[in-house]
Amino acid sequence: MRNANSLKSAKEATRFRRGYTTPARLREDIKAAHRTRPWRTAAAALTDQAVVIAACVTAGWLLIAEPLIGAPLALIAAVLTGRQLRALENLVHEGSHFNWSRKHRALNDALAIALAAFPTGAQLSGYRESHLRHHGAFGTDEDPDLQRYRELSLEAIDRTRAGAFARELLRRLPAYQRTWWRDSIQASPAIAFLPVAWAAVFVLAPAWALAGAPAGLAAAAVWLVGFAAALPVLRFIAESSEHVYQGSDTVFDATISNLGIVQRALFHPHNDGYHTVHHMWPGVPHHRLAWLHRRLMQGDPEYAARLRRRTGVLMTPVRGGARVTPTEERTR
């Protein structure tokens, strides 16, 4: 028992401090921001799925009917598919924090599994265990994100030029993807391959029924490129941009918010880019993160001055000075 207590004390001593005190005048706003709306998150997930289906089926049909037009559109559709699957992964993340429905946890898990985990091959329970360790043991050897950052030297990626950034990402991508698949398959081989079944039912079958077998197979190929190629790249860029552990000793200082238009639109769907707000209050659902960020920017000078942010993928994180843009002002 003494050894166990000693280990726990050592872990507590090395874990990063939160590093931020919630302003008393904003506590009611923060409390209100924790309200979950399962119908809204379910609608977001169904929209993500619908976009994937429409993009793949349309591209598959055009690849057969008008190859010269269909080929470039198929590439766009594959990237869009990867982006929407990344959005669904973000909603699995929401489920791990019970941000679909906090009062009805069985409903939270049922919706997150059926509408977000199934199409992406994620195991909600396994992801929850790993991700909550990231939050609870942040900055320790038990933090799975820190393990990945160290293993792949993510903080050493050269962001000075687009070409150098792309080369270093591609050099690390195979090891990153092997780790991802290893963890997914070890957690549950059957669940890891459920996206294939999802694509067969919702992409291949509709395209086949509408335009014949060649179109169905073409639509499935577009989905496969999106799932197996575009999604890992988008996920890797997003995950490699979320933290700077070196030189930091608090969660606030080690967390980066990625607030550029391209970042929020392509790499960090569903307000995933507001990562500092998420780490300070993990129970705030995706549809309230941008609102809470704005309230903090306007109402707390410390948050506005200390926030570490990027507004471009290649940008070195800077502190403070961020203006609430018209695009952010319209975000709800």
pLDDT at residue 56 is higher than 90: yes
Confidence (pLDDT) at 320:
87
Confidence (pLDDT) at 14:
74
Confidence (pLDDT) at 180:
75
- For residue 217, what are the contacts with CB-CB under 8 A and spacing of at least 6? 60, 204, 208
Confidence (pLDDT) at 184:
64
For the chain, the structural domain boundaries read 25-330
What are φ and ψ of residue 319, in 5° steps? Answer: -105, 135
Q: Are 222 and 74 in contact (CB under 8 A)?
A: yes
3-7, 74-78, 227-231: segment of lowest average pLDDT: 3-7
* pLDDT tier at 1, thresholds 50, 70, 90: very low
* pLDDT tier at 187, thresholds 50, 70, 90: low
* pLDDT tier at 321, thresholds 50, 70, 90: low
- Among 43, 35, 32, residue whose Cα is nearest residue 103: 35
Q: What average pLDDT does this structure show over 310-317?
A: 94
Q: What average pLDDT does this structure show over 243-262?
A: 96
Confidence (pLDDT) at 9:
45
d(CA 64, CA 77): 15
* pLDDT tier at 329, thresholds 50, 70, 90: very low
Q: What is the pLDDT of residues 205-245, one digit of tens each?
A: 999 999 999 999 999 999 999 999 999 999 999 999 999 99
* pLDDT tier at 59, thresholds 50, 70, 90: very high
Answer whether 0.75 is exceeded by the pTM.
yes
Confidence (pLDDT) at 177:
87
The DSSP call for residue 274 is -
d(CA 151, CA 174): 13
Q: What is the pLDDT of residues 88-126, one digit of tens each?
A: 999 999 999 999 999 999 999 999 999 999 999 999 998
* pLDDT tier at 45, thresholds 50, 70, 90: very high
d(CA 331, CA 273): 13
Q: For the chain, what percentages of helix, strand and coil (3-state, to nearest 5) are there?
A: 70, 5, 25
The one-letter amino acid code at 164 reads A
Q: What average pLDDT does this structure show over 316-323?
A: 78
Confidence (pLDDT) at 191:
80
